[in-house]
Each structure stands twice: as C-alpha cells, then as structure tokens.
Chains A and B, each alone.
Chain A
Amino acid sequence: MTDLLYSEEEEALRAAVRDLLTDHCDPADVIARVESGAAHDPALWKPLAEGMGLAGLLIPEELGGQGATHREAAVVLEELGRAVAPVPYLTSAVVATEALLACADEELLGRLAPGRTRAALAVGLHTAPDAGFPAARLEDGALHGELTGIADAATADVLLVPADDGGLYAVTADAVTVTGQVSLDLTRPLATVRLDGASGRRVGDAGPAVHRALRAGAALLASEQLGLADWTLTETVRYLRERKQFNRPVGGFQALKHRLAQLWLEVVNLRAAARAAADALARDEDADVTTAVAQAFASPVAVHAAEEALQLHGGIGMTWEHPVHLYLKRAKADSIAYGTAGAHRETLAGLVDLQAP
C-alpha cells in the first residue's frame, strides 16, 4: 500500500538537513560560489555526506551505508532543491550509487558510503531512463572517446563509463580529462569527459545499470523539483505580502492571488506525485509508471513555479543579485534532466497501453 506521508523519522531528517543548509547554503553564498567558477561546495558536502552520513543512505549497512530507502533520499533532495544547493547528491549518492548497486560493486559502494569519494555516471544528464546513450571505445583494454553533458563530473573522484563492449567501467578522475561546459544551471554544472586510452575496471553490464540509475534519478529528481517549487512559491508569497504598490500589498490583487493559489495547487499535487515515486522505488512496486507520471508532472510545475516567481517579483527578480534566477536555471535544466516531460509521457504511453496513432 502506497504511503504518501512523511514519517516522524523523515521529518526529523528534513529538519536536520534544513538546519545544515540554513547555516551553510545562504543564497548569497551560492551566487558568490558559482561566480568563482567552482560551483561545488566542499564545506557543505562534508557535513552533509560525511558528517550526517547521507551519501550512504541507499547503500546497505554491511557496506558501511545507512541501509535506508528512496523515501529518505527523497526528503534530503527536497531540502537540497529548496536551497538549490551546489552539491553532487543526486548525481553521486543516487544515480552513480544506483548504477553500482545494480552491479553489486562492493568495493566502490564501500568507498562512496562515507562520502569521501564521489562518483558520476558518464551518461549525459539529458538522457531518459529508457533512451540510448553514447559509449566509449574499448581498444586493447583501454578506453577512448569523449562523453559530453556529464553533470557534476568536475567534482567526481570516479567516473562510471559505459563502453562499446556493453560493460560499465570505473575510471579514476586522474586518468581522464574533464573540461567544464558553460552550463545553464550554474549549480549543477556539466562537463565533457575525454578518455585517451584510460584504463578502467569493469564493474558490470552497462545496460541494466544505466537504466536503473537513470530511473532512480528521474524518480527522485521529482522530489528535488518539489523542494524547488515549494521554495519559489513560499518566497513569492512572502514577498507579495510585503511589497506595496498603489498603496496596498501587491499580494492583495486578485489576479495575483489566483495565480499563486493555482501554483499552490500544483505544488500540492507534485508532493503527492513525488512521494508516490519515492515510495514506489522503495517498495520496488509499480516503479516504472509512477516514475514516468512523476517526471511528466514535475518538470512543468517546477518551471512554472520558478517563472511565476520571477514575474511576480518584478524587476528585482531580473537581477543577478536576487537568487530567483538560480531557481529558474535549475528548474529549466531539470526539465531536460533524465528525460523531458514529453519523453516520460511517451514511455507512459507504452506502459499503460495508450498507443500512438
């Protein structure tokens, strides 16, 4: 039976993560950090991943992880989404971790669990769970080629590279050339990964591992998008209650009240969809349909929420100084990440037998 609520433990986890983000992830700091060219914030990752042990949430206890489920990871992602936190949690602690879980690679999982090692799956961020993806060439046991659009590759210690023999290879970062790409989302930057005869260790078959990893990424991205949408709505409501024009609070104009009420309704619905997806993954039941539904719904809502936030903030929302642009850029990039809403609807058409003409 689907459980769409948050348990007391999950609420306690949320409170702890939110406290940490309040101390370490102020919007002004995030803007300063992305300007420095190194988006990833080690001063946040360390207490989050190592201190609280959240990098190992999905990893079994016997490998040094927490043995928790996707429900808890989803709560962490809601909070990270609220703060557009520049940490590789989704890419390393969820996507790369899921790929390694599919391969049952105990060695790397054991290193990822305490958070000191970060991994990235070398598959473009835009790739949907059931889409094809480029692979590196394997020649005489060495990997060759260039893979683009790899999220958080710049901060990864290990890259999980699919190769043309059908295998997934673990390659250490110092064996490849990682070059940052100028990215729309400043807080989750992309990079190209160039392999010039890099040696790697085969950890398993790429096909099922990548599918599982991208499906988990898509499902839990919905929770990150929920956090993002929730923040933009809350912040916009707060601002419109204070901001005065025509001698009254701007939030009192009915045209704006109705837009915010509609947005609230979308966020309420997104919460149900995101919880359903996290719960379905945790129980491994109905996960394909629930993931496709959550992603088909979440992306337009998160983008709408961020776009409304910008418009309703007026001029201040258009400035570099105000953080709303970070949310808009994250939301728009998220609408492509792990497959667009349209791609997920197409998947759904097959799953629920609503075939195209």
Chain B
Amino acid sequence: MTGTSLDAAGLRGRTRELLAAHPPADTDRLAFLQARFDAGLAWVHYPEGLGGLGAPRSLQAVVDAELEAAGAPDNDPRRIGIGLGMAAPTILRYGTEEQKRRFLRPLWTGEEVWCQLFSEPGAGSDLAALGTRAVREGDEWVVNGQKVWTSSAHLARWAILIARTDPDVPKHAGITYFLCDMTDPGVEVRPLRQITGEAEFNEVFLTDVRIPDSRRLGEIGDGWRVAQTTLNNERVAIGGMRLPREGGMIGPVSKTWRERPELRTHDLHQRLLKLWVEAEVSRLAAERLRQQLVAGQPGPEGAGMKLAFARLNQEISGLEVELRGEEGLLYDDWTMRRPELVDFTGRDAGYRYLRSKGNSIEGGTSEVLLNIVAERVLGLPAEPRTDKDVAWKDLAR
C-alpha cells in the first residue's frame, strides 16, 4: 500500500488504489460501495473497520472529488439520509462493537434503509412525553404504541426507536433507545396523506413488537440522552446545504418574473425584490456558517438557519402563487402518491406553497427554535418547567 498517511495526499492515494482494484465501469454498483466501505473511504472520520480511517472529517472532500472525477457510483445519500445523518452517528457513539459491525456497513451502502420512530400523535414538540411502551419480558422487550411523521417507513428495513420503559419516573428519565426490525409482524405502516395530496410520511403502529435486548442502544432509561445525538445531527444536516445564488425557492419565481412580463405588478415587484435580498443574505449566512465549520469555529448561528429557511420558503412560494394570477388558482396534481424524495423544484408553485408550510413544523417548530435561541444563545431565562419532577404517568394529557 502506497498511501499510508492520513493527509490529503495519502487519501488521494488510497482512493486511486480503490479505483484501480475496482474500476467503476466494470464493477457492480453495490460491490463497489462495499469495497469503498471496506477500504475506509466511506466516511473517513469513522474508525477503521467501520468504513473510515480515523482521519479528519474535512478530508472526505478529497476522496469524494477523486471518486466523482472517476465516475464512481455514490450511495445516493438523499435516499438514505436518515440512516446516514441520524442513525449512524448514534450507533457509532452508543452501539456495542457487535451492533456497529452488524449495522453500519449495509446502512452506508444503502442495502438497508433506516427510518426514525420518534414523534407520536401525543408527543410533538414535547417529544420526551412520548407514550409508546416497551415492557421487558426475559431477553426481549414487547413494544406497543403509535408513531407518526415517519419518512421512508415503507421502504425501511430498520428503525431507530425511542419508547417508554419506566412510566413511574419523570419523563426524560424513563425512555430507552432501540433498533427496531421493520419486518417484524407487529409493525404496521400506513401512508399519511398530507395537505399536498401525497404521502411523504407514514404512521407506524406497533403491536406486541418483540425486540431482543441485544438491539437496545445505550443503557436502560438513558434513551433521551442517546436521542440527543440523533437530533443534533438532524439540525446539522438541515443547515449544511450549499447553494448558488438563486439556488433555492427564489430561483423559480425569479425565472417566472423574467419570462412572463405580463404578470408583473408594482406591488409584486417590491415584494419580490425584498425576498430576493433576504434569500441572498440567507444564502450568504449559510455559506458563512459552512466556512465557520470548515475552519473549526462552529458558532451558534446554525440554530437560526432553519428558522430563516422556513419563513423564506413560505413567503417566497406564497408570492409565487399570487404572481401566477389565474394559473395560481390551479393545482398540478392531487393524486395520492408516495414520493421517495421531496422535490421542491419538480412541482408547481402551489405544491411548493403547501409543502413549505411544513418547514416551520418539522424538525423543531419555529416557536420552539426561538425558545432555544433565546435560552441557549442569548442566555435568557428558561420557560417554567412544571413537568420536571412529575412521574410520566401523572402528566396532563
């Protein structure tokens, strides 16, 4: 082996060796991805033997650039975002050696899709109040309850699941984290149709699902702490996109404005320019955040990115519907479908308007995020906590 050092040159060397041993043109896609994982080039900051080399995370870009230039297949990260962004870091941090070896490789290659069983009809913003029960029976846990807003549940082989294992202690203390087999007969997945007409998400009903204790992640009762790793990574994933100018929702409405002079009015012009400026500034703020992360100076700014992104998407798409006038009264398609990916650009303005309403709810409502900014960034007093010392079973519901 020539490339042994963990610098850019070393990683470039290792990547070229991988490409020489498994030329992408003559290699089956899955076989190539497995070979890449085994060479430690999947996520270089992961440990050796688990798809990485223990190298600095920033060097992943070197590997990705080499592979892209060689036309190598990728693992279609958008399709397996929950596995990569949420399940993997949590398994890496809290999993046993056996769990890490069993789950991380097929997770990364996309052979096994993951979903997240966290939110419940009665536990949204107050996720820690969740009521899905897991009761110990010998070496197994018997799980009963209902989860909601689960993307990819109908495609997933595995789920990360948090459930209540002790109702007699305050809510944060009685939760345990599990890895749930979605093919278990007690798991029923139903599409959840949303206001756009389609069903991006699912409801998941868990009835006497039996999970072996070996698929518990972390200690009994420690699930809330384990889940923080999952949720922190969710916010990083949402804030980390890099866009060119007019790369977001402002793109389609600007295009329509240029191509359709007959739709222009003075009022719309003023509003469009204002939103264009805000979208551009938001893009610069996201770029600045990215530069801070690359420079190793992560700031609290990330907490605000999702807030800005949600409001802008909603205002821009609302303007776009109005701009279209008579056409704004129409909708492209109400057919109930199950899209694999959320595609904001492939649909009409009306779809964007409706779908973006979810941006200020999913992944933390804007109201909760404002509290987080006020308390954790600005140091203002926390909301009164009347549930802190109350057993979960005695909470108002």
Give the interface of A toward B (CB within 8 A).
2-5, 237, 240-241, 248-249, 251-252, 254, 256-258, 260-262, 264-265, 268-273, 275-276, 293, 296-297, 342, 345-346, 348-349, 352-357
Residues of B within 8 A of A251 (CB): 380-381
- Taking the closest CB of chain B, its distance from the CB of A243, in whole angstroms, is 12
Which residues of chain B have C-beta atoms less than 8 A from A276's C-beta? 284
A252-B273 in contact given A3-B291, A257-B371, A260-B374 (Cβ < 8 Å): no
Question: Per-residue 0/1 for B361-397: is the Cβ within 8 Å of any A Cβ (1 yes, 0 no)?
Answer: 0000001011101110111111100000000000000
Q: Mark B236-271, 1 if CB is under 8 A from A, else 0.
A: 000000000000000000100110010011100110
Task: Say whether A264 contacts B277, CB under 8 Å.
Answer: no
Shortest Cβ distance from residue B359 to the other chain A in the assembled complex, whole angstroms: 15
Q: Across the interface, name the chain A residue whose C-beta is closest to B284.
A: A272
User: Which residue of A3, A269, A357 is within 8 Å of B281 (Cβ)?
Assistant: A269
A257 neighbours in B (Cβ, 8 Å): 370-371, 374-375, 378, 380
Interface residues of B: mostly helix, strand, loop or mixed?
Answer: helix
Contact at A356–B269, with CB atoms within 8 Å? yes
Residue pairs across A and B with Cβ atoms less than 8 A apart, 26 shown, are A2-B284, A2-B287, A5-B288, A5-B291, A251-B381, A257-B370, A257-B380, A258-B370, A258-B374, A261-B369, A261-B378, A264-B304, A268-B301, A271-B285, A271-B288, A273-B285, A275-B284, A276-B284, A293-B280, A345-B273, A345-B274, A346-B273, A354-B254, A354-B273, A356-B264, A357-B269
Residues in chain A near residue B278, CB distance under 8 A: 269, 297
Q: Taking chain A's interface residues, is the majority helix, strand, or loop, or is none over half, making it mixed?
A: helix
Whether B284 and A4, one on each chain, are in contact in the complex, defined by CB atoms closer than 8 angstroms, is: yes
* Contact assessment for A357 and B266 in the assembled complex, using a CB-CB cutoff below 8 Å: yes
Given contacts A258-B367, A355-B264, 10 further A-B contacts (CB under 8 A): A4-B284, A237-B378, A241-B381, A248-B381, A249-B381, A258-B370, A264-B378, A271-B288, A355-B258, A356-B266
Residues of B within 8 A of A248 (CB): 381
A353-B258 in contact (CB<8A): yes
Residue of B nearest to A4 (CB): B288
Contacts of A296 on B, CB cut-off 8 Å? 273-274, 277
Whether A237 pairs with B373 at a CB distance below 8 angstroms is no
Q: At the interface, yes or no: B30 with Cβ under 8 Å from chain A?
A: no
Whether B258 lies near A293 (C-beta < 8 A) is: no
Nearest chain A residue, comparing its CB with the CB of B272:
A354
Nearest CB to that of A354 among chain B residues? Answer: B257
**Known contacts A345-B270, A357-B261; A265/B378 CB under 8 A:** no
Bound Cα distance A273, B283 (Å): 9
Closest A residue to B375 by beta carbon equals A257
Q: In the complex, A331 Cα to B269 Cα: how many Å?
A: 26
Interface residues of B (CB under 8 A from A): 254, 257-258, 261, 264-266, 269-270, 272-274, 276-278, 280-282, 284-285, 287-288, 291-292, 295, 297, 301, 304, 307-308, 367, 369-371, 373-375, 377-383
A5-B295, A293-B281 given; A348·B381 CB < 8 A? no
Q: How long is the Cα–Cα vector from A264 to B299 in the complex, in angstroms?
A: 13
Given contacts A257-B371, A264-B304, A345-B274, contact A273 B377 (CB under 8 A): no
Are B284 and A237 closer than 8 Å at their CB atoms?
Answer: no
Rounded to whole angstroms, the CA-CA distance of A2 and B261 in the bound complex is: 33
Q: How far is the CA of A5 from the CA of B369 in the complex (A)?
A: 25
CA distance A7 to B305 in the complex (A): 23
Cβ of A293 and Cβ of B277 under 8 Å apart? yes
Q: State whether A265 touches B295 (Cβ < 8 A).
A: no
User: Across the two chains, which residue of chain A brings its CB closest to B254?
Assistant: A354
A151, chain B: closest CB distance, angstroms: 25
B266 to chain A, nearest CB (A): 6
A126 to chain B, nearest CB (A): 20
The smallest C-beta distance from B144 to any residue of chain A, in angstroms, reads 35
Assembly CA distance A241 to B374 (angstroms): 11
A260-B378, A293-B280 are contacts. A354–B373 as well, Cβ < 8 Å? no
A203 to chain B minimum Cβ distance, whole angstroms, is 35
CB A312 to nearest CB in B, in angstroms, measures 12
A272 engages B277 (CB within 8 Å): no
Nearest B residue to A292 by beta-carbon distance? B277
With A345-B270, A354-B269, A357-B269 known as contacts, the answer to whether A273 contacts B380 (CB < 8 A) is no
Most chain A CB within 10 A, of B264, B370, B378, is at B378
Give the distance in Å from the alpha carbon of A297 to the alpha carbon of B280 in the complex: 10
> Which residues from A are CB-within-8-Å of B287?
2, 4, 272
Residue of B nearest to A349 (CB): B273
Q: Judge whether B258 and A269 touch: CB under 8 Å.
A: no
Chain A residues within 8 Å of B281, by CB: 269-270, 272-273, 293, 297
The residue of chain A having its C-beta at the shortest distance from the C-beta of B367 within the complex is A258
Q: Which residues of B contact A354 (CB under 8 A)?
A: 254, 257-258, 269, 272-273, 276
- Of A258, A268, A275, A357, the most chain B CB neighbours within 10 A belong to A268
Residues of A within 8 A of B297 (CB): 5
- Compute how far the CA of A252 lies from the CA of B285 in the bound complex, rounded to whole angstroms: 28
CA distance A251 to B276 in the complex (A): 33
Among B274, B284, B292, B382, the most chain A Cβ lie within 10 Å of the Cβ of: B284
Among A270, A275, A348, the residue within 8 A (CB) of B273 is A348
Task: Closest B residue to A348 by CB, please name it.
Answer: B273
* Closest residue of B by beta carbon distance from A352: B276
Closest Cβ of chain B to A7, distance in Å, is 10
Q: Which residues of B contact A265 (CB under 8 A)?
A: 304, 307-308, 373
Docked Cα-Cα span, A273 to B287, in Å, equals: 11
Closest CB of chain A to B319's CB: distance in Å?
Answer: 12
Give the residues in chain B near A249, CB-CB below 8 Å: 380-381
Contact B370–A357 (Cβ < 8 Å): no
- Kindly report which residue of chain A lies nearest to residue B280, judged by CB atoms: A293
Most chain B CB within 10 A, of A293, A348, A349, is at A293
Other-chain residue from A261, A268, A346 in contact with B374 (beta carbon distance below 8 A): A261
Q: Choose from B285, B371, B377 the contact partner of A272 (Cβ within 8 Å).
A: B285
Partner pick for A252 among B266, B272, B380, CB 8 A cutoff = B380
Query: How far does the Cβ of A290 sit from chain B's closest Cβ, in whole Å?
Result: 9
**A127 vs chain B, min Cβ distance (A):** 21
Residues of A within 8 A of B276 (CB): 348, 352, 354
B282, B288, B308, B380: the one contacting A241 at CB < 8 Å is B380
A315 to B378 CA separation, bound complex (whole angstroms): 23
A269 touches B367 (CB 8 A): no
Which listed residue (B264, B274, B292, B373) contacts A261, Cβ 8 A? B373
CB <8 Å contact, A237 and B380: yes
Q: How far is the CA of A238 from the CA of B304 in the complex (A)?
A: 20
Cα–Cα distance between A241 and B380 once the two chains are bound (Å): 6
Q: Find the B residue at minimum CB distance from A286.
A: B245
User: Considering the chains assembled together, what is the distance between the CA atoms of A270 and B285 in angstroms?
Assistant: 8
Separation of A352 and B279 alpha carbons in the complex (Å):
13
